[in-house]
Chains A and B, each alone.
Chain A
Amino acid sequence: MVETRTMTPKERVLKLFAGEKVDRPPCFSGMGNATTEGLGRLGYKFAALHADAKMMAGVAASTYKLTGFECGVVPFDLCVEAEALGCEINVYAHLDDNILYPTIKKKIIHNEDEMGISIPPDFTRRGRIPLVKEAIELVKADIGNDVAVGTYVLGPFTLAGQIMELNDLLKLSFKKPEKVGNLLDTLADAIVLCAREFEEAGADYITVREMGATSDVLSPRVFKNLILPYLKKIFGQLRTNTVLHICGKTNDIAPFMVESGASAISVDQKNDAAETKKKIGNALLFGNYDPYNVLVAGSETNVRQAIRKCMDDGVDAVWPGCDIWPTVPIENIKAMMDEVINYRRPVSN
C-alpha cells in the first residue's frame, strides 16, 4: 500500500531527533546499506566504492531509489579514521564476485610503548576523510531533500582496536587502564575532528559505532569506567543528531549508552528491546532486527514478523543491528518498508 504522505522521510527523521511527534517510526539506518542490485545497476564493484566519492554516493542513494529505504549513508567500511591515522587498509580488490569489507592490513601501534600517539596535524586532509566528505555532499545533492543523509565514525575503543592488536588492547584495558584511557582520549579528539568534517558536509545524523565495547567482550563496569567518559567527550562536542551503536549484548549497558549524550541509541537483535525501552524511558531507541538472518536470508514472512516485533517492542526507529549485507533481496527491503508503513502499533494505555 502506498503511504499517504503527511511528512517526507527526512522530516520524519529530523522531527524524531528533535523530540517531536511523528506519524510512525522511520525505517532507516546509520550503517552501510549497499545492495548488489544497486551495484549491478550502476555497474560498480563493491571493492571500487571505497576510493571513489561518486560511486560511493551513487550506491548510497540507490538503496532509497530502489526500495524507499529512508536514508542515504556513506561510507561502506570501518577503516576511514584508522587510515587517516596512518594504518594501511586492504579493500580485497582481487575478489571479483565475493564481497568483503575492507580491513586494516598494517597497524600503527605494535606494542604497549607505542600507545602515546598524537593526531597528525593534517589529519582531516589525510586518507579518505575528504573523499567521504565529498560523498556526503553528493548524496545530499541527489536525495537530500527527500531523506536524511547519514554517516558514521568509530567509537574510541573500536578505533583503538583498529590501530593496535585487539588482543593487547583488551588485556591492557584490564592491566593498564590509565594507558588505554590516554589513548582513548586522543582518539576521541580525532573522532570529533573527523565527525566535524562530516557535519560540515551536511550530514543530518552521525552514528558512532562502538561495537568493540559490547558486553560480549567487556564488562559493563569497564564500559562505564573506561569507555563512557570518552564517548561523553565526543557527543558533548558534536552539533548534529547523533546515534550510539553497540551490537551484541547491550541490555546492561543501555542506560550508560543513553548517559553518553547521544541523541539516540542503537542496539542489535541480541538486545531485549522491550525491556530496554522500559529502562531508558523517553530516550530514543533504534533497532533491532537481524540484518543478515532476517533481512538477507529470511523469507518475506520472517521479515514482516521481525519488523512487527520491533514495533511492538516500541523502537522509535526500525533500524538494522549492523550493516546490511549487500546480497539482500530487494523484495525483502520492500516488504520491510511496507510493514513499517502499514503495521500500526497498538494504542498504548
Chain B
Amino acid sequence: MITEEKRQELLDRLRNSVIQYDEDGAKEASNEVIELGMDANDAIFNGMVSGMEEVGRLFEAQEYFVPELLMSADALYAGLDILKPHVKQMDLGVKGSVVIGTVEGDVHDIGKNIVKMMFDVAGFTVYDLGRDVPLDKFVEEQLKTDSDLVCLSAMMTTTMVGMKKVIDDLKAKNPNVKIMIGGAPVSSDIAGKWGADGYAKDANNALKDAINMVSSLKKMKEEAEARKKG
C-alpha cells in the first residue's frame, strides 16, 4: 500500500502531465503507479481524466485550442497505454459498445478521435471505423457487433447531410440502437430533426450522453426480460 501523500502526489503529476501535454511525464508517473501497486482505476480517473476535464474547461474558456487538446490527448494515451493492462474492472455503472466514425466524404477525424478517447477511458468497447466511411458500413458494423450506440461525425456542412441516411437506415434495421451525431456543422436542432438520439456538443457531453443512453437501453432490455419471465 502506498501512503495517501504519495497517492496524491502521483494523481497530481498525472493530472498536470495531461494539462501540460507532457507525454514523458505521463509515462513516468504511470510507471510509478504500477511499480508502487497503486490502483490503476484511481490513477486513470482521479489523475488523468481529471486533467482532461481541466483541459476541456480551458478549451471552453478559449485558453486552449485544438493543438493543445491533441497534445493533451497524446499525453493521456501515453499514460493509458501503461495503466490500462492493470485495470481490474472498469466500472462506470455501465459497460457499452459503440461504433464510431466520420461519414463518407469527410476526412476530418480529430473530433471523432477525441470522443473515441473518452469512450476508451470509460471502458466502452469501441469499434472505430475511421474516417471517410461509406454510409452502409455503419449499419453493417452495428448489426455485426450488436453495439448499443452508433456515433457519426462530420466536420463539414457538405458531408453532414449523409448522416440522415445512416440514421434512417439504422433505425429501420434496428429501432433500439442509439445514435449520436456530432461535428462542427451539427446542432441539437439537426439531431432532433433527423431522429438522432443524442448530439455531441463536445467530447465531455458526448460521454455523459452516451452513458445515459446506454443505461436507459440496458434498463429497457432488463425490463423486457423481466416482463418475459413474469
**Chain A contact residues, CB within 8 Å of chain B:** 90, 92, 98, 100-101, 103-104, 166-167, 170-171, 173-175, 215-219, 222, 248, 291-293, 322-323, 325, 327
Contact = CB atoms under 8 A, between A and B. Distances in A.
Interface of B: 62, 65-68, 70-71, 74, 104-110, 113, 132, 135, 156-162, 165, 184-185, 187, 189-190
A324 B101 CA distance: 25
A167 B108 CA distance: 9
Contacts of B67: 170-171, 173-174, 218, 222
Nearest to A270: B184
Nearest to B107: A103
Given A101-B158, A174-B71, A325-B158, A218 B66 contact: yes
Nearest to B131: A103
A211 B161 CA distance: 20
Contacts, number: 70
B162 to A, nearest CB: 7
25 contacts: A98-B162, A100-B104, A100-B158, A100-B162, A101-B156, A101-B158, A101-B159, A103-B105, A103-B107, A103-B132, A166-B108, A167-B70, A167-B113, A171-B67, A171-B70, A173-B67, A174-B67, A174-B68, A215-B65, A218-B67, A248-B184, A292-B161, A292-B185, A293-B189, A323-B157
B65 A293 contact: no
B164 to A, nearest CB: 10
A162 to B, nearest CB: 9
A292 B157 contact: yes
A293 to B, nearest CB: 7
Given A218-B65, A219-B65, A222-B65, A100 B105 contact: yes
B112 to A, nearest CB: 11
A104 B157 CA distance: 17
B135 to A, nearest CB: 8
A98 B165 CA distance: 10
Nearest to A173: B67
A323 B74 CA distance: 34
A292 B160 contact: yes
A216 B105 contact: no
Most chain B CB atoms below 10 A, which of A167, A222, A323, A327: A167
B111 to A, nearest CB: 10
A216 to B, nearest CB: 7
Contacts of B184: 216, 248
A258 to B, nearest CB: 21
5 closest Cβ pairs, A-B complex: A100-B105, A174-B67, A170-B67, A292-B157, A217-B66
Nearest to B69: A170
Contacts of B106: 103
Contacts of A291: 157
B139 to A, nearest CB: 15
Nearest to B71: A171
A32 B184 CA distance: 19
Contacts of A166: 108, 110
Contact of B159 (A100, A171, A248): A100
Given A98-B162, A173-B67, A292-B161, 19 more contacts: A98-B135, A100-B105, A101-B158, A103-B105, A104-B107, A167-B113, A170-B66, A170-B110, A171-B67, A171-B74, A215-B65, A219-B62, A248-B184, A292-B160, A292-B185, A293-B189, A322-B156, A325-B161, A327-B161
